[in-house]
Amino acid sequence: MRNIILSEDEIHSICKLLGQQLSTRYRFNEKPPVFIGVMKGALPFLMDLIKEIDIPIIIDFVQLKSYNGTESTGTVSLKKDVSVDLKDRDVIIVEDIVDSGISMIFLVDYLKKKYQPNSIVTVSLLDKKINRKAPFELDYAGKEVGEGFLMGYGLDYNELYRNTKYIFIPDQEEIASWDEILNK
């Protein structure tokens, strides 16, 4: 049985609420703010979130590389950079989940140093606060979650199962069946 942590309806409500808050925050901006999705996990969330934003925005993407499977080792690097110059712009980093906090700390620091943006705020659909290994607080979090490996709606298990409309914790039986798929 899949233990559903965030249903399609709940995700929609979160996107609506965050979309309104972010629209209000940047409504009178001179330059459109830049929403940066962290690939690949944040793509479904970014795409649903931006549909709830009613001001002019720009979207862009980065991809991070972290050196392990399911747990953070603390070593992060950039695999793909943005394609827009962020200098003096307001930047919103959009993540699927913040776990240890190491990826976000790395990315905020990297973008600040390289582009000198006007501001950076961080948004994540899920916040696994309990697992923080470095001090990091999100500006906007959809839902705080406990320990346990989450899947779906962008979150993967060895690249599989990003394509569900909800987020869940799989049971052992299901994980075993995926390992079989992965071994093919």
Residue ranges in contact with ligand IMP by CB under 6 A: 41, 72, 95-103, 128, 149-150, 155
Which one, 67 or 177, has the nearer CB to Mg ion?
67
Nearest to ligand IMP of 17, 134 (CB atom): 134
Cβ neighbors of 176 (< 8 A, separation 6 or more) are none
99 near Mg ion, judged by CB under 5 A: no
DSSP tag of 131: G
Report in angstroms how near the CB of residue 123 gets to ligand IMP at its nearest.
Answer: 12
Residues 101-140 that bind Mg ion (CB under 5 A): none
Q: Which among ligand IMP, Mg ion, none contacts residue 46 (Cβ within 5 to 8 A by kind)?
A: none
Residue 157 CA to residue 40 CA, distance in Å, equals 12
Are the CB atoms for 42 and 94 separated by under 8 Å? yes
Q: By C-alpha distance, which of 145, 157, 155 is closest to 43?
A: 155
CB closer to Mg ion, 34 vs 38: 38
Point out the residue whose Cβ comes nearest to Mg ion: 41
Dist CA 81 CA 129 (whole Å): 27
Query: If binding is defined by CB under 5 A, does position 41 make contact with Mg ion?
Result: yes
Q: Are the beta carbons of 104 and 98 closer than 8 angstroms? A: yes
* Cβ–Cβ under 8 Å, residues 93 and 121: yes
Stretch that binds Mg ion, among 73-81, 95-103, 144-152, 176-184 (CB under 5 A): 95-103
CA distance 127 to 143: 6
Residues known to be catalytic? 99
The residue (of 48 and 95) whose beta carbon lies closer to ligand IMP is 95
Confirm or reject binding of residue 96 to Mg ion (CB under 5 A).
yes
Q: What is the contact surface with Mg ion in residues (CB under 5 A)? A: 38, 41, 96
